[in-house]
Amino acid sequence: MKILINVVNARNVGGGLQVVHNFLLGTQKIPRSDVEWYYAVSECLDTVYLNDEFKANAKGRYHVYPNQPDFFHTYRTVQNKLMQLEEEINPDVIYTILGPCYNFFKHREVIRFVHPWIVTSNPYAWSTLPFKTKVRMKTHIVLLKKLVNRVKYIVTQTEAVKNGLICKLGKVPDSIRVVNNVLPAVYASLDNTPIVEESGWVEIPAVGSGEHKNLDIIPEVLKELEDTYGIKNYRFHITLPKSSPVLPIIETKIKELGYQDRVVNHGNLKQQDLAILYRKCKISYLPSVLEVFSASTIESMYFQLPTVATDLFFNTEVFGDSCLYYTPKNAKEAAKQIVKAVTDEKLRKELQEKMKIQIKKFSSFDKYYNDTVDFLIEVGEGKYDK
C-alpha cells in the first residue's frame, strides 16, 4: 500500500512538530512490509530535524516544499506541485499529521486532529484571551471547522475529542480513530532519576506556551504561598519563547511583587534539556485550561513528579487518580494543592505509585505507531467508505 505523509505545514517548533518528527522516524525504524512510504515535508523539517540517513533511506520518495501556509508567496505553487505529486504516486491514502491543512487532495485523506478550540473549548479558556485575540480565534474556528468537515477520516487523541467531533461536527464514529498520545520516544534513552541539589529552592516546572496554558496565574500562586503559608522558596520554571504575549504579563506581575527570583524562564527547550529540568524538580504544575492531550502530563508521570493540575477532562482522562486537582484559575486552591504535593510524603509516594501504573497506558510508541498505521491501511482499503 502506498501512503503519502503530508507535513508541508510543519513549521513551528513545539509539541506538534515533535509528534511529526517521531512519526516520520517511526516509518523507518518500525518496518511495515505492507506499506510503502512517501514524504512531502516542509523546509523546516528538512533542514532542522531530518538527517542525511533518513533522506537517503527515503530516496526517490522524499519531496521538500516551502513551509506552508504561505498564502502571499508560495501557496499556489506548492498546491500545484502537491497535486502533481499525488497524480504521480497515486497513493491509497494521504496522512496529514498536522491537520487540518490548507492543501487539498483527490485521494482519501486522514488528518490527525488536535485543535482544542473547535470542539472542547470552555469558558475558562475563552477568559484567558484578550478581546482582539478572541475575535480572531472565533473567526479562525469558523475556517477550521470548514476544513475539518471536508475530510472524512480523523485520528485524534482522546474520547472527549471524538465525542465532540461527532456531536458538534456530525462526524461518523467509525471514521474517527482514537490513538492516545505517548511519551516521546527520545525519553526511553534518557535517565529519569532525580537530581538532588542543595540550593534551598523547591523547583517546580510549569511547561508550555500560549494563553490557554494560564501560566500568568503563577505570580498569584506565589503570592498565596507567601501570604497564607509563609513560603518563599518555591520557584517555578517556565518555557516561554521571548515572543510570547504571556511572558511580559508574568514579568510585570513578578516585578511588582518582588518575586523575580521565584520564576525562571528557559525559553524553548530541547527534550534532552527539558528532561534534566524535570529531574531537578520536586513536583509538576499544570494550570492549563485547554488541551487535547498535553505531553506535559505523561512527562510529569515519567519523571515521577507528583502533579497539581486543573480539574478538567483532558487532565483527568490521562492522570486518573494519580494527580491533585484544583478548580481552574483558582490560585488559592492551586497553592493549597501545591503545598500538599511538596510536603506530604505519604501522599507523594501514593501518587508516584499510581503514576507508575497510569503511565503504562502511554508508554508504547510502537503501539501508538502501529495503531495509527493500521487505521491508515483500513482507510486505504476502503473499509469505511460506505
Residues 217-245: tens digit of each pLDDT: 999 999 999 999 999 999 999 999 898 99
Return the pLDDT at 364: 86
The reported pLDDT for the residue numbered 334 is 98
Q: From 23, 18, 50, 70, select the one nearest 371 (Cα to Cα).
A: 23
| SS3 assignment, position 289 | coil
Neighbours of 69 (CB within 10 A): 15
The residues pairing with 42 across neighbouring beta strands, listed in sequence order, are 65
Say whether pLDDT at 210 is over 90. no
Under the banding of pLDDT at 50, 70 and 90, the label for residue 183 is confident
- The pLDDT value given to residue 13: 56
| Average pLDDT of the residues in 251-255 | 97
Report d(CA 75, CA 43) in Å as an integer.
14
Q: What is the pLDDT of residue 208?
A: 87
The answer on pLDDT for 138 being more than 80 is yes
For residues 142 and 118, give the distance between their C-alpha atoms in angstroms, rounded to a whole number. 9
- pLDDT of residue 116 exceeding 90, the answer is no
Closest to 7 in 3D by CA, of 48, 65, 57: 65
Grid coordinates given for 173:
464514529
Helix (H, G, I), strand (E, B) or coil at 220: helix
Radius of gyration of the CA atoms of the chain, in A: 22
How does residue 93 score in pLDDT terms, banded at 50, 70 and 90? very high
Q: What is the pLDDT of residue 14?
A: 61
31 pLDDT exceeds 90? no
Q: What is the mean pLDDT of the chain?
A: 93
pLDDT digits (tens, 9 = 90+) for 364-382: 889 999 999 999 999 999 9
In three-state form (DSSP H/G/I as H, E/B as E, the rest C), the secondary structure along 125-178 is HHHCCCHHHHHHHHHHHHHHHHHHHCCCEEEECCHHHHHHHHHHHCCCHHHEEE
Give the count of alpha carbons within 13 A of 111, CB side only: 20
154 forms beta bridges with 111, 176
Q: Which residue has the cell 490548507?
A: 102
pLDDT band for 114, please (50, 70, 90 cuts).
confident
DSSP 3-state of 193: coil
Span of 54-58, 92-96, 158-162, 268-272 with lowest mean pLDDT:
268-272
